[in-house]
Amino acid sequence: MSKVAERFLKYVSFDTQSKDEEEQVPSTEKQLVLAKELVKELEEMGASDVRLSEHGYVYATIEANTEKNVPSLGFVAHMDTAPAMSGRDVKARIVEKYAGGDIVLNEEKNIVMTVKDFPFMADCEGRDLIVTDGTTLLGGDDKAGVAEIMTMAAWLLAHPEIPHGTIRIGFTPDEEVGRGADFFDVEGFGADVAYTVDGGPLGELEYENFNAASGKVYIHGVGIHPGGAKNKMKSALLIGMELQSLLPAFENPMYTEGYEGFFHLDQFAGDVEYAKMDYLIRDHDMDKFTQKKELFASAAEFLNKKYGEGTVELKIKDSYYNMKEKIEPYKYLIDIAKEAMEEVGITPEVSPIRGGTDGARLSYMGLPCPNLCTGGYNFHGKFEFIPVQSMEKVVELLLTIVRKFEKIEK
């Protein structure tokens, strides 16, 4: 088995699911178990300045072995997996030399990944696909990035004859709950520029992302026996449904793509007396993003006028911003990544991220940080999979980028 696949299968055995709405970082103690294992491995392979911060961030350095004055280059990935689905007791298996067609993930539970639902499966014929048993996510987002960076690091440290500048490595917790950069030590990290390795299929290269905010809605209703409820009952559930109806119907993830933003109702729970709604608000364009937040607030204001002040409480919090303006002065990062991809046989596909990465926030913290592919598909769900050959190709890509940076004079 290839080294990167071996590492990946080891890392997905660690349950590192993060948890939303927790004050501490990391949001779950179990993320520290993988963090400590990575520290151990980095020390054993010979990396320097290996450290684990109090908040669960892993940092390491591969010292320069060239006399040239070249930029120090960082690679960043996150250790946690999404709250959307369990990452506990992942039963990964390899479909060797995938012959095409549907894949039965779990015969007992009749869970099948079909080409009808995922036509891009046809592009993976002949490759060795790592899949789940249909009861958990796989964890490729972003343990694939972690495994690829670790494999690159091990190779460089085992081949000191290959000249390179200073390489910084960073692994973060809590990216999936929007807190991956909260305590990232940019100054201590010491990289001039960096890449996150947190994208999808081979070729993805991203330096534009959503402007993002979360919207928390708390609805206070009045419960009373339905037999005598006229002019008395105030159903928090129905008011929540009314709030959703006030938002543009087609500005919804189901109907949007590319640069189109959306309002996404992620959770809705409650009863007549009290209900809570969690929204994601997204747009690449800052003006449209601002307008979306204003519209969201005006919907709550309208309902308070209709049902009484205090019926709807609203909290809107910005999560991250489009990194494009921070990356554009460093467009050479994109040019180098494109050239490296072409050299190793990957077709670059520059596209906007319909989401965000740690790199978006790190770019605003002074560390320009576009995003590279990992090779994975269908993140955050039971149909997640990743070809072994794609991970191997990403390792080759990272090594090629390192080689190209050695030729850049500061």
Catalytic residues: 80, 175
For 102, other C-beta atoms within 10 Å of its C-beta total 13
For 159, other C-beta atoms within 10 Å of its C-beta total 11
Is position 198 annotated in a ligand binding site?
A: yes
Look at the block and give the residue holding tokens 């779990």.
106
Is position 141 annotated in a ligand binding site?
A: yes
Report the alpha-carbon distance of residue 141 to residue 376 in Å, rounded: 8
At position 130, the amino acid (one-letter code) is I
Look at the block and give the residue holding tokens 């026996």.
225
Look at the block and give the residue holding tokens 């534009």.
208
Is position 309 annotated in a ligand binding site?
A: no
Is position 358 annotated in a ligand binding site?
A: no
* Rg for the chain, CA atoms, rounded: 23
Report the alpha-carbon distance of residue 338 to residue 32 in Å, rounded: 34
Look at the block and give the residue holding tokens 């004859």.
161
Is position 78 annotated in a ligand binding site?
A: yes
The closest alpha carbon to 136, from 407, 361, 380, belongs to 380
According to DSSP, the residues that pair with 222 across neighbouring strands are 234
Token digits for 139?
């964890």
- The annotated binding site for Zn(2+) is made up of 78, 141, 176, 198, 380
- The annotated binding site is made up of 78, 141, 176, 198, 380
